[in-house]
Structure 1
């Protein structure tokens, strides 16, 4: 079973461990409990595991919203402060590291403190608790020839993962992971995968260049994709043109229809106060649209000109460039599942070397006297920093570090490897195809597939290993102090120094959730105390899940880790100076500890450090090592405004809390909900109200444009 439910050892209550998602959390009761397995069918919503305990209260150590439903599923109340008379109730608790449901017969009250949510029953009662992992797996694999026309038929089955065609599919937990696609001589579909009959049809020319951008639409609309000379979307009695620019028009359709679905779903199971509905300038009959078939609903949405709705649309999170190549077809279900905007660039601009051997702004800077450059030497002749491009010499003429150093300075990878994708309007950017993309996540099929690996683990604690192979960089070794700060997740932290090649091999083969490497790297590999370890060696075993190689020119070695077993990591494209590299390492460490994924963590670091553009994510940029307390990854911006403050909370899709997740800032007198990726903006808020919010969780805060952590700002 992927979820274990055990009594707490040192307090009354339960500990719940989801081995798939590497999450653990606790629930507290008023007395010691002995959980008894119970039927999963007792719950209104599906669960993976269910137990029954006797208790008079349940306390969740986080601020949560409690949804109360009657025995037939009717929503009766929703909030964090409510009271209900005696009856039979189904409760949903959100957020939680797993889906959490309660079923009992009793009156009850819900109250919150600044850190907990407490459900008090009328007396000692049997309470059935249900848990469902937020992990999602595809139902099977479709085999298809990779020519565009048969591939269109395969793409038409991606919507089979949708658990509903109502507007509620804008919730990530009701979309499901699309079936996988793999090349084959014949077209075959497992019997359990059925194409939905939604009445939506997408017509595009039979080319990869036209097909790839509409793949997320085919998934989200459960649409059939067919060949035709003029790109368009069709329903019963209507059509919507995707000409003359399929990429741009498909992106507009995705953003507009998803936004309207988030509004329309407030007419269904979740009639909440939603910011997007309160602020929309579009006057549609949302109640009728909620009840309408998906094709009719979509047709009505698309009657609204995009330029009319565009001002109210949030900045989308992810754009993925998928090169129009049959070798990339297996990546399509993963890209669709993220609801990424897709572009398919037929040509790509190579990035050319600039003066000094680097690539544009990535070229190695000319160091000031006394500056330590990772891979060079300091003015005193000592080792310069945590990453080695052994040939960068001292600005005052000191010899290159090491007698066996290469004869030429290394500023960046060979320019023939780099490509410069067109800029994106989204927060994040991924690249599927050949080449090393500047300022984008180099995604790989190997890494995407590892999202689906669900092998059980023998321990619920999250393991972090900091390896420092440079005595000059012991300061960055202190990043270990930044892990394990959260009381909701248990971390095993280990710091090791000066490893040999054999010891480094053992580290890479160990079952470590996150490796933070501080040391020297060049084209020979990672420097160890006895020699270099080349990670491109075929016999190297890698079980490390995620990593940060904070070293000069670590891209090739990091990419080798992905090919040999890792899911995702952060690497450098050029030489990096010592001080900013150390700062970036510490920022990324705290963000990963706070539940951010690799791509969003690097995005936040780039806001603080210009040198962050020397780093990219390789593999699966959605990789996390844990979940945040609030589920979503949130960044707060605070700008002084006289005696008050202007507040913005930016929420990013993260793991199971994907696009469409509903959230609300826990601020007094703020009741509106928001759908990710909409930003919550509140003007002229008092410092006292914001202080209460910042005490709930350690989050990154940009105060007057500079990055802090919430615990560093208290009190405001």
Structure 2
């Protein structure tokens, strides 16, 4: 079973561990409980695991909204503060690290504090609790020849994963993972994969360059993709051209239709106050559009000129460049599932290798007199020039000829993708992209692996193989600073090659490596361990290789079993590398994925552009307390008055379209991820209360802080 439900050891309640998503949380009861397995059919919505306990209350340590439904599923109430009379109820509690449902017969009340949500029953009774992992798996694999026209038929079935064609499919839990695509000699679609008849067609010339950018549209619109001379979207009685710039126009259609679906869905099962609905300039009949078929609704959306509503659209999260090559067709379902904007560049601008192994603007800054880089070249300036490497701290410990090594990326083909307007950027295809996530099919596939997991705790291992970098080794203090997640954190120093092999073969959730890397591999106390060796076994899930030019060694970890990691493209000076390592540690501990963590770190450090993500950039090691990953920015307007900006990023199961609400008395509106919430005129006292809800990255005057460092605010002036 993917979900374990166990009694708490130190308080009345339960610990719930989802081994698929690496999430864990606690819920509390008013008395010790012994969970008894119960039928999953006891719940209105599907669940993976169900238990029954006797209790008079349920409390979870987070602010949540409780949906109350009758025995037939009708929505009766949705709030964080309510009272209901005696009756039979099905409750949904959101957000939680898993879908959390309860079923009981009793009157009850819901109350929230600044950190908890509590459900009190009129009397102690049996409560059935259901949990469903937010992990999603494809229904099957489509086999297809890889010529463009056959590929169009396969892409036409991606929308089979949608659990509805209503506007509610803008919720991530109702979209489902698209079926996989696999090259083959004949076209075959498993019987269980059925494309819904949406009435939408996408006409596109039969070339990879034209087909790839419409893949997310085919998925989200459940559209049939057919060959034609001019690229366009068609419905009954309407045509929307995607010419002359197919990539740009397809991106606009995706962003616009998704935005309007998030507004229209407020007319259905979730009639919430939505900021985007209040802010839109589009004068559409949302109630009528909610009831309309998908094709009719889409036609009405696309009649609104994009330029008219562009300013109200949130900054989209991800652009993926997919080279127009048949070798890349297997990545298409994963990119579609992320609702990424897709570009398909036919050529890639080469990036010239700079002096000293630097890559253009990525070249490491000149180190100061007492500084050193994490590669294999020494620093000859300063008062200790000419001293032995062990004294001046310049070369890698144990390197017999530092000057002869270190150009670990000298033979790699670097490419400079065109800039993107989205927050994140991924690259699928040959070449090492500058300032983008090098995504690989191996890593995408590992999203779907659900093998048995032995430990119920999240394991982090910090390895420091150089005594002069011990300062970064203190990052272990930053992992595990969570009150809802159990971490096993270990720090190890000066490992041998054999010990490092054992580490890589262990089921560690996150490896934070501090040391030296060059073309020989990772430096250990007795030799170098080359991670490109075929006999190396790798089970580490995610990693940060915080060393000079660690790209090729990190890419080897992806090919051999890891899901994703952060690596360097050039030499990195020790001080900024240490700073970045500590930032990434706190962000990963706070539930950020690799791609977003590096994006936030780059806002703080110019040298962050020397790092890229390899593999699956959506990899996380735990879930944030709020579900979504949140970055705040605060500005003081006058004495004791503040403005707050909250930027929410999609994260794991809380993907694009998730609802969120800043918990302040100044804002009762809901927002959709990835919208940015602006809340003004907050008092110092209320802002301090908000900062204490959760440890979050906060920018103030362009500098990065953490919320637990910022109060009392008056001391920060």
Measure how far apart 1:392 and its partner are. 14
Q: 2:611 aligns with which of 610, 615, 624?
A: 615
1:419/1:436 contact within 8 Å kept: yes
Q: 1:589 aligns with which of 562, 585, 589?
A: 585
> More deviation in 356-365 or 416-425?
356-365
Alignment partner of 1:514 is 2:514: no
Give the corresponding residue for 2:147. 147
Q: 2:658 aligns with which of 650, 654, 661?
A: 661
* Paired residue secondary structure (1:600): helix
How is 1:196-595 mapped onto 2 (pairs within 5 angstroms)? 196-375=196-375, 376-377=377-378, 379=382, 404-405=400-401, 407-408=403-404, 410=406, 413-414=409-410, 417-595=413-591
CA distance in structure 2 between the aligned counterparts of 1:44 and 1:671, rounded to whole angstroms: 29
* Paired residue secondary structure (1:298): helix
CA distance in structure 1 between the aligned counterparts of 2:397 and 2:49, rounded to whole angstroms: 58
Q: Cα distance 1:370–1:391, how it changes in 2: closer, same or farther (>3 A)?
A: closer
CA distance in structure 1 between the aligned counterparts of 2:132 and 2:167, rounded to whole angstroms: 22
> More deviation in 572-581 or 68-77?
68-77
1:540-588 Cα distance to aligned partner (Å, 9 max, x none): 0000000000000000000000000000000000000110000000000
CA distance in structure 1 between the aligned counterparts of 2:188 and 2:679, rounded to whole angstroms: 52
CA distance in structure 1 between the aligned counterparts of 2:481 and 2:544, rounded to whole angstroms: 19
Q: Cα distance 1:97–1:518, how it changes in 2: closer, same or farther (>3 A)?
A: same
Q: Cα distance 1:66–1:391, how it changes in 2: closer, same or farther (>3 A)?
A: same
Give the corresponding residue for 1:116. 116
Give the corresponding residue for 1:700. 697
> More deviation in 320-329 or 105-114?
105-114
Measure how far apart 1:374 and its partner are. 2.3
Q: TM-score, normalised by structure 2?
A: 0.96
1:267-289 Cα distance to aligned partner (Å, 9 max, x none): 01000000000111111000010
Q: Cα distance 1:110–1:263, how it changes in 2: closer, same or farther (>3 A)?
A: same
CA distance in structure 1 between the aligned counterparts of 2:369 and 2:118, rounded to whole angstroms: 60
Q: TM-score, normalised by structure 1?
A: 0.96
Measure how far apart 1:356 and its partner are. 4.4
1:446-466 Cα distance to aligned partner (Å, 9 max, x none): 000000000121111000000
Structure 2 unpaired stretches of 5+: none
1:64/1:117 contact within 8 Å kept: yes
Give the corresponding residue for 1:94. 94
CA distance in structure 2 between the aligned counterparts of 1:380 and 1:531, rounded to whole angstroms: 30
Give the corresponding residue for 1:674. 671
* Cα RMSD after superposing both structures: 1.9
Give the corresponding residue for 2:622. 626
Measure how far apart 1:377 and its partner are. 4.2
CA distance in structure 2 between the aligned counterparts of 1:102 and 1:170, rounded to whole angstroms: 25
Measure how far apart 1:370 and its partner are. 3.0
Give the corresponding residue for 1:3. 3
1:106-142 Cα distance to aligned partner (Å, 9 max, x none): 1111111121111001111221111110000000100
CA distance in structure 2 between the aligned counterparts of 1:411 and 1:143, rounded to whole angstroms: 42
1:416-466 Cα distance to aligned partner (Å, 9 max, x none): 511000000000000000000000000000000000000121111000000
CA distance in structure 1 between the aligned counterparts of 2:274 and 2:407, rounded to whole angstroms: 50
CA distance in structure 2 between the aligned counterparts of 1:670 and 1:82, rounded to whole angstroms: 19
1:3/1:48 contact within 8 Å kept: yes
Give the corresponding residue for 1:158. 158
Give the corresponding residue for 1:19. 19
> More deviation in 289-298 or 53-62?
53-62
Measure how far apart 1:625 and its partner are. 0.4
* Paired residue secondary structure (1:552): coil
Measure how far apart 1:404 and its partner are. 2.3
CA distance in structure 2 between the aligned counterparts of 1:429 and 1:559, rounded to whole angstroms: 18
Give the corresponding residue for 1:39. 39
1:350-405 Cα distance to aligned partner (Å, 9 max, x none): 00133444221112333333332223446465999xxxxx999989xx88975622
Q: Cα distance 1:13–1:401, how it changes in 2: closer, same or farther (>3 A)?
A: closer
1:2-24 Cα distance to aligned partner (Å, 9 max, x none): 11112222221111111111111
Aligned residues: 709
> More deviation in 348-357 or 699-708?
348-357
1:377/1:383 contact within 8 Å kept: no
Give the corresponding residue for 1:66. 66
1:363/1:411 contact within 8 Å kept: no
* Paired residue secondary structure (1:321): strand
CA distance in structure 1 between the aligned counterparts of 2:661 and 2:396, rounded to whole angstroms: 55
CA distance in structure 2 between the aligned counterparts of 1:335 and 1:393, rounded to whole angstroms: 50
Measure how far apart 1:103 and its partner are. 1.2
Give the corresponding residue for 2:600. 604
1:212-236 Cα distance to aligned partner (Å, 9 max, x none): 0000000001000000000000001
